[in-house]
């Protein structure tokens, strides 16, 4: 009988070396420097090729699909078990205390760096799980395929391209969330709110990098005859915020730092533009400020679309703001339970915005994911997890969105354990080395049970 955890421990040194090398590739979306050969930027291609090269090194079948996605395959048979994850990461932010965001430093039982939790660490654990099955020579009747995408944090163009030509797994999971298992994921509605307006006060503004992150930094350049330096410093001191002030005549520039968290739980963060507008609202008149304060919050209450369903509460994250040449653009990520009607919600928001001269464009919907808890896939994965950990907590739902929803039948399965701090999309992202070893063991036995 295989002792999965003891077998997993044998791979610790090699796994950490391979993961550190992967972390050191700064695979943040870089469309500004995209080429035909590197449609999402060269670093994203480098990260994909690094992963595939591991498979080649260890004797697996590999395939690269247009430098957007690729797979590592093991075994034989007509049926296919898939593990879908990603090697792209979100921007790093500032204030890292443990090495740099791309150091892969190992300190005090943790490995640090962007992607250690989301999603290079979990994918490396899945890779070593498959390697363990191969090294042990355990008999399988199905193929196992590790599929790596490079655009999960943005538009999912990687999986769209991949499944346009490649085989869809019959079943599988995405190691891009929490243990014990997530059987339901909220639907998503991504869109832009646009207001074309030549503002008398605000000259330019910017905040945020991604729709699925709460903006950590905001900057507003504006005209005001009053010198706001003293008032602004008092505001920063009162709320213990960090910010800067600059002035040239009646043109003033304010910056502020909020708290970045994953956009699926925006209420846990501090939206930098919201708090900067909170201050400015007392000193200048601007329809841009009025628009944000009238309609934007974290749960849809101000739009009149708040909702609570089986998968939880509706959330809204305004993740990117820009005002350039008279165009105010807000990129929004909305997440909702399966019962909520996205089309009706869009209509409600469009109607509410119209009197302000604002409108919605680029609306894209992703349906919610739901797999019944008595499905054999869930019973198998949850059974392995509970046997290995002794943790019998109830299975989960989430506001996050993983590649599980693109599969014929898939769920999100780890690898964030109960009690481990969730630092995804935050500074000093890290994962305990012990969690990686436990995940290798859980994934190895789970894949064996699915593919034997």
Supply the pLDDT for residue 296.
Answer: 97
Q: Which of 81, 111, 143 minimizes the C-alpha distance to 16?
A: 111
Supply the pLDDT for residue 134.
Answer: 98
CB 375 within 8 A of CB 171: no
Q: Are residues 194 and 182 in the same domain?
A: no
The yes-or-no verdict on residue 295 having pLDDT over 90 is yes
The pair phi, psi for residue 117, each rounded to 5°, is -100, -30
Supply the pLDDT for residue 311.
Answer: 87
Q: How confident is the model at residue 373 (pLDDT cuts 50, 70, 90)?
A: very high
Domain boundary among 366, 385, 406: 366
Q: For the ranges 93-97, 184-188, 272-276, which has the lowest average pLDDT? A: 93-97
Higher pLDDT, residue 142 or 401? 142
Cβ-in-10-Å burial (0-12, 13-18, 19+) of 325 comes to exposed
Distance of alpha carbon 29 from alpha carbon 91, whole angstroms: 8
Q: Are residues 160 and 237 in the same domain?
A: no
Supply the pLDDT for residue 441.
Answer: 98
What token pair was written down for 218? 């905001």
Supply the pLDDT for residue 99.
Answer: 82
The yes-or-no verdict on residue 439 having pLDDT over 90 is yes
Supply the pLDDT for residue 372.
Answer: 92
The yes-or-no verdict on residue 98 having pLDDT over 90 is no
Mean pLDDT of 238-260: 96
Distance of alpha carbon 431 from alpha carbon 289, whole angstroms: 39
Supply the pLDDT for residue 93.
Answer: 83
Establish how many alpha carbons lie within 13 A of residue 368's alpha carbon, considering only the half-sphere containing its beta carbon: 25
Q: Are residues 254 and 267 in the same domain?
A: yes
Distance of alpha carbon 449 from alpha carbon 383, whole angstroms: 10
Mean pLDDT of 386-393: 97
Q: How confident is the model at residue 444 (pLDDT cuts 50, 70, 90)?
A: very high
Establish how many alpha carbons lie within 13 A of residue 106's alpha carbon, considering only the half-sphere containing its beta carbon: 15
The yes-or-no verdict on residue 364 having pLDDT over 90 is yes
Distances (CA, A) of 145 to 80, 81, 174: 7, 6, 12
Query: pLDDT tens digit string along 157-201?
Result: 999 999 999 999 999 999 999 999 999 999 999 999 999 999 999
Q: What is the pTM assigned to this prediction? A: 0.77
Q: Are residues 304 and 414 in the same domain?
A: no
Supply the pLDDT for residue 310.
Answer: 86
- Give the gyration radius of the chain's Cα atoms: 23
Neighbours of 405 (CB within 10 A): 22
As annotated, the active-site residues are 88, 152
**What DSSP state is assigned to residue 395?**
P
User: Which of 410-436 are b and which e, b meaning 16 or more Cβ less than 10 Å from the residue's Cβ?
Assistant: bbbbbbbbeebeebbbbbbbbbbbebb
The yes-or-no verdict on residue 12 having pLDDT over 90 is yes
Which residues 6+ apart lie within 8 Å of 355 measured at CB? Answer: none
CB 300 within 8 A of CB 191: no
Domain boundary among 346, 366, 386: 366
Q: Are residues 300 and 251 in the same domain?
A: yes
* DSSP character string of 121-161: HHHHHHHHHHHHHHHHT---SSEEEEEEES-TTTT-HHHHH
Query: pLDDT tens digit string along 210-234?
Result: 898 999 999 999 999 999 999 999 9
Q: Are residues 198 and 228 in the same domain?
A: yes
Supply the pLDDT for residue 36.
Answer: 93
Q: Are residues 442 and 425 in the same domain?
A: yes
Mean pLDDT of 80-104: 93
What token pair was written down for 84? 């879908």
Q: Are residues 27 and 169 in the same domain?
A: yes
Q: Are residues 155 and 199 in the same domain?
A: no
Q: Which of 294, 396, 424, 277 minimizes the C-alpha distance to 353?
A: 294
Mean pLDDT of 364-384: 94
Distance of alpha carbon 72 from alpha carbon 51, whole angstroms: 9
Supply the pLDDT for residue 400.
Answer: 78
Distances (CA, A) of 442 to 128, 287, 335, 409: 11, 53, 30, 20
Mean pLDDT of 21-30: 97
Residue 276 belongs to domain with CATH number: 3.30.70.360
Q: How confident is the model at residue 399 (pLDDT cuts 50, 70, 90)?
A: confident
Q: How many residues does the chain have?
A: 452
Q: Are residues 8 and 31 in the same domain?
A: yes
* Residue range(s) defining the domain that contains residue 345: 188-366
Mean pLDDT of 238-263: 95
* DSSP character string of 64-77: EETTTEEEEEE--S
Residue 394 belongs to domain with CATH number: 3.40.630.10
Q: How confident is the model at residue 415 (pLDDT cuts 50, 70, 90)?
A: very high
Supply the pLDDT for residue 122.
Answer: 98
The yes-or-no verdict on residue 1 having pLDDT over 90 is no
Domain boundary among 313, 343, 366: 366
Q: Are residues 115 and 210 in the same domain?
A: no
Query: pLDDT tens digit string along 107-142?
Result: 999 999 999 999 999 999 999 999 999 999 999 999
Total of domains in the chain: 2
State percent of the chain over pLDDT 70. 100
Query: pLDDT tens digit string along 303-347?
Result: 999 999 988 899 999 999 999 999 999 999 999 999 999 999 999
Q: Are residues 155 and 257 in the same domain?
A: no
**What DSSP state is assigned to residue 409?**
S
Distance of alpha carbon 18 from alpha carbon 117, whole angstroms: 15
């Amino acid at each position: 009988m295989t002792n999965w955890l003891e077998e997993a421990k044998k791979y610790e040194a090699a796994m950490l070396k391979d993961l550190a090398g992967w972390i050191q590739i700064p695979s943040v979306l870089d469309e500004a420097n995209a080429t035909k050969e590197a449609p999402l930027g060269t670093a994203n291609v480098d990260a994909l090729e690094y992963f595939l090269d591991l498979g080649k090194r260890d004797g697996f079948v590999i395939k690269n699909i247009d430098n957007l996605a690729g797979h590592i395959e093991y075994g034989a048979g007509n049926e296919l078990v898939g593990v879908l994850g990603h090697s792209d990461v979100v921007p790093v932010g500032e204030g890292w205390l443990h090495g740099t965001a791309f150091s892969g430093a190992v300190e005090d039982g943790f490995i640090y760096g962007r992607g250690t939790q989301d999603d290079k660490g979990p994918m490396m654990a899945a890779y070593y799980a498959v390697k363990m099955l191969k090294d042990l020579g355990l008999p399988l009747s199905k193929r196992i395929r590790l599929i790596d995408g490079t655009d999960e944090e943005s538009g999912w163009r990687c999986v769209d391209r991949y499944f346009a030509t490649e085989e869809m797994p019959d079943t599988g999971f995405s190691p891009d969330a929490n243990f014990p298992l997530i059987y339901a994921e909220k639907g998503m509605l991504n869109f832009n709110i646009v207001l074309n307006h030549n503002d008398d006060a605000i000259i330019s503004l910017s905040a945020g990098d991604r729709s699925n992150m709460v903006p950590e930094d905001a900057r507003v350049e504006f005209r005001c005859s009053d010198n706001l330096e003293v008032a602004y410093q008092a505001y920063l001191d009162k709320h213990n915020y960090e910010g800067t002030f600059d002035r040239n005549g009646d043109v003033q520039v304010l910056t502020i730092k909020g708290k970045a968290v994953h956009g699926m739980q925006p209420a846990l963060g501090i939206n930098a533009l919201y708090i900067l507008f909170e201050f400015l609202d007392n000193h200048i008149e601007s329809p841009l400020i009025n628009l944000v304060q009238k309609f934007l919050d974290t749960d849809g209450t101000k739009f009149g679309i708040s909702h609570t369903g089986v998968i939880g509460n509706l959330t809204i994250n305004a993740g990117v703001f820009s005002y350039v040449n008279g165009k105010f653009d807000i990129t929004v990520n909305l997440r909702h339970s399966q019962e909520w009607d996205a089309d009706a919600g869009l209509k409600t928001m469009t109607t509410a915005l119209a009197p302000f001269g604002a409108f919605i464009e680029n609306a894209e919907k992703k349906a919610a994911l739901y797999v019944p808890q008595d499905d054999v896939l869930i019973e198998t994965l949850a059974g392995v997890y509970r046997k290995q950990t002794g943790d019998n907590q109830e299975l989960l739902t989430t506001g996050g969105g993983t590649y599980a929803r693109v599969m014929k039948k898939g769920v999100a399965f780890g690898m964030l354990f109960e009690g481990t701090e969730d630092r995804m999309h935050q500074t000093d992202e890290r994962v305990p080395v012990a969690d990686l070893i436990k995940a290798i063991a859980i994934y190895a036995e789970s894949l064996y049970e699915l593919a034997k």
